[in-house]
């Protein structure tokens, strides 16, 4: 069964997306510095990924469910304890960019 219809190349479809450059969010040099074009109440937020085994991910998820805290909040607590133990200032509090959907207690 042959078709006389010609498909479009992926490059033709995606080419339009490359025309507009993605604006990078500038990272503040110091904790008190804020980019001039951003709202001063909303700091720039970047992800930090941590690789764990599936078993450990399940344990962390269960801890999250048992404590009623999101993995974001548990992670902040853990990183802040590490920073405190080393005599460094704590992380700035930020909210997850996607709500957990869990009912508040």
Task: Indicate whether 86 belongs to any domain.
Answer: yes
Task: Indicate whether 71 belongs to any domain.
Answer: yes
At a CB cut-off of 8 Å and minimum separation 6, what does 100 contact?
Answer: 70, 72
Task: Indicate whether 44 belongs to any domain.
Answer: no
pLDDT score at 65: 96
Task: Indicate whether 61 belongs to any domain.
Answer: yes
Count up the domains in the chain and report the number: 1
Q: Which residue has the higher pLDDT, 24 or 94?
A: 94
Task: Indicate whether 81 belongs to any domain.
Answer: yes
Alpha carbon dihedral 48, 77, 89, 84, in 10-degree steps, equals -120
Task: Indicate whether 67 belongs to any domain.
Answer: yes
Range of the domain at 66: 50-90
Report whether 72 contacts 50 (CB < 8 A): no
pTM of the full structure:
0.52
Task: Indicate whether 55 belongs to any domain.
Answer: yes
Task: Indicate whether 69 belongs to any domain.
Answer: yes
pLDDT tens per residue across span 14-64: 555 544 444 544 444 444 444 445 556 666 888 899 999 999 999 999 999
């Amino acid at each position: 069964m042959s078709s006389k219809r010609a498909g479009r190349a992926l490059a033709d479809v995606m080419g339009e997306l490359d025309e507009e450059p993605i604006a990078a969010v500038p990272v503040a040099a110091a904790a008190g510095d804020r980019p001039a074009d951003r709202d001063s109440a909303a700091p720039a937020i970047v992800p930090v990924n941590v690789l764990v085994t599936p078993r450990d991910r399940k344990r962390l998820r269960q801890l999250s469910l048992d404590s009623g805290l999101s993995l974001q909040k548990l992670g902040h607590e853990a990183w802040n304890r590490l920073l405190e133990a080393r005599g460094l200032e704590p992380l700035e509090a930020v909210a997850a960019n996607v709500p957990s959907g869990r009912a508040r207690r």
